[in-house]
Amino acid sequence: MQDGVSIASLGHGKETTLGSVTRSELRGDSAASPAAGRWLHLSSLAMETFGAVIFYWQGLPMYREISADPSAYASHNTPRLWWLLGIVLIQVGYWARYRTAPVLPQVSNTALRHMVLFLGQMVFTLPTAVFSFVFISRKLSSEVPVIGYVLTLAGLFSMFLYMRELQWLGNSLALREKKPGESPS
């Protein structure tokens, strides 16, 4: 289809036409201009990374302290403002990139790919530990208010989205298949 774009072409699996919506209208400036798409991806990745750094900066010392002594949570002043900032940065960055689907540069680097994929897995170790401590072992069940559980789940979901972003980036760095008759780049 010339004017419209199908959902299948965006990777959603169903062949549904969106009428007269053009690909550049759906994706914003990123599809119309590859440079704008790269800047959009870099800025959204930077936002998400900054949000993840906030989570580790605020969450890791708190996790260490509370896992050593669960009664320390009652006297601990939880950094809710920092958690909210981290959640917002990751969510806005991820969904902006997801909605506009900017095209990454056609770069392939196996070593960088594996490092990014490894980082994506390692970034999720703290959220996994927090989940098991808070929801499975339930050592804090009497101390945590409802808002604490809501922020914990929102933070865990945000870190999951950041992990998915790193997986997407790492997978995009995969070696490109050389087509017959193509010269190596």
Kindly report the pTM of this predicted structure.
0.70
Q: What is the mean pLDDT of residues 167-182?
A: 74
Task: Return the HEC string of 104-149.
Answer: CCCCCCHHHHHHHHHHHHHCCHHHHHHHHHHHHCCCCCCCCCHHHH
pLDDT digits (tens, 9 = 90+) for 75-116: 556 678 888 999 999 999 999 988 887 776 677 888 999 999
| pLDDT score of 150 | 86
| Residue in the structure block whose two tokens are 């072409």 | 9
| pLDDT score of 35 | 67
pLDDT digits (tens, 9 = 90+) for 136-168: 777 666 666 777 788 888 999 999 999 999 999
Residue 62 in contact with residue 79, Cβ under 8 Å? yes
The residue among 5 and 132 whose pLDDT is bigger is: 132
| pLDDT score of 16 | 36
Q: How confident is the model at residue 135 (pLDDT cuts 50, 70, 90)?
A: confident
| pLDDT score of 25 | 39
| pLDDT score of 141 | 64
Amino acid at 135: F
Average pLDDT of the chain? 74
